Amino acid sequence: MRIALASDHAAIELKALLAGWLHEQGHEVSDLGPHDGTSVDYPDYGYKLAAAIAAGEAERGIAICGSGIGISIAVNRNPACRAALVSEPLSAQLAREHNDANVIALGARLIGPEMAKACVTAFLSTEFGGDRHQRRVDKLSNPSL
C-alpha cells in the first residue's frame, strides 16, 4: 500500500519510527516532512498530506502532531480527505469501517510508539463497511446530498 506521512516538529521521531516500520512491512512510504526538529507550522504539513491523498499519490495517510488535533483539522480542509484523530485501535478500526477514513491523525505527546503501531495496524487492515455507511460518507464531501 502507498502510505504518506507528515508531521510537525513535535512528532518527527514518531513519524520516522512509523515510516521505518511500515517500510519493513513492505509498504511504499512517502515521508512528506519535516525531517529535523526545526519549528514548523502543522497546517503546512497537513495540507501537504491532504494534497498527496487528493492527487492519488498515496492510498492512505498518517498525520501526526503533538496532540493530533491541529493537523487533523488541516487535513480535513481538503474535501478528498477524511481524517480521524485516534488514540487506540478500536477508533482506528471504526474510522475505516464506518467513515472510510483515508487518513488517521495521531498525537505524539499523547500515545506511545506501540499504541501508535496498533492504531496504524487497525487502520490499514480494516476495510470500509459500505452499505448503510456509504450515503453518510458521501455527505461528508457533498453536504447538499
Nearest to 71 by CA among 62, 63, 79, 61: 63
Residue found by looking up cell 500500500 in the block: 1
**What pLDDT was estimated at residue 145?**
65
**What pLDDT was estimated at residue 129?**
78
Residue 124 CA neighbour count, 13 Å, CB half: 21
| 104 backbone dihedrals φ, ψ, rounded to 5° | -115, 150
Q: pLDDT digit of tens for each residue in the chain (145 aa)? A: 999 999 999 999 999 999 999 999 999 999 999 999 899 999 999 999 999 999 999 999 999 999 999 999 999 999 999 999 999 999 999 999 999 999 999 999 999 999 999 999 999 999 987 777 888 888 887 777 6
Q: What is the rounded CA–CA span in Å between residue 106 and residue 90?
A: 14
109 is in an annotated binding site: yes
60 is in an annotated binding site: no
Q: Residue 109's CB: how many other CB atoms inside 10 A?
A: 12
Task: Copy the grid coordinates of residue 109.
Answer: 505527546
Can you give the pTM of this predicted structure? 0.94
**What pLDDT was estimated at residue 83?**
98
Q: Where are the alpha helices (DSSP H) in 59-105?
A: 69-75, 89-99
125 is in an annotated binding site: no
Catalytic (active site) residue 119: no
Q: Which residue among the candidates 27, 35, 81, 98 is catalytic per the annotation?
A: 98
Q: Which residue among the candidates 65, 81, 119, 133 is catalytic per the annotation?
A: 65
Catalytic (active site) residue 35: no
Question: What 3-state DSSP class applies to 36?
Answer: coil
99 is in an annotated binding site: yes
CATH of 2-141, one of 3.30.70.1290, 3.40.30.10, 3.40.1400.10, 3.40.50.720: 3.40.1400.10
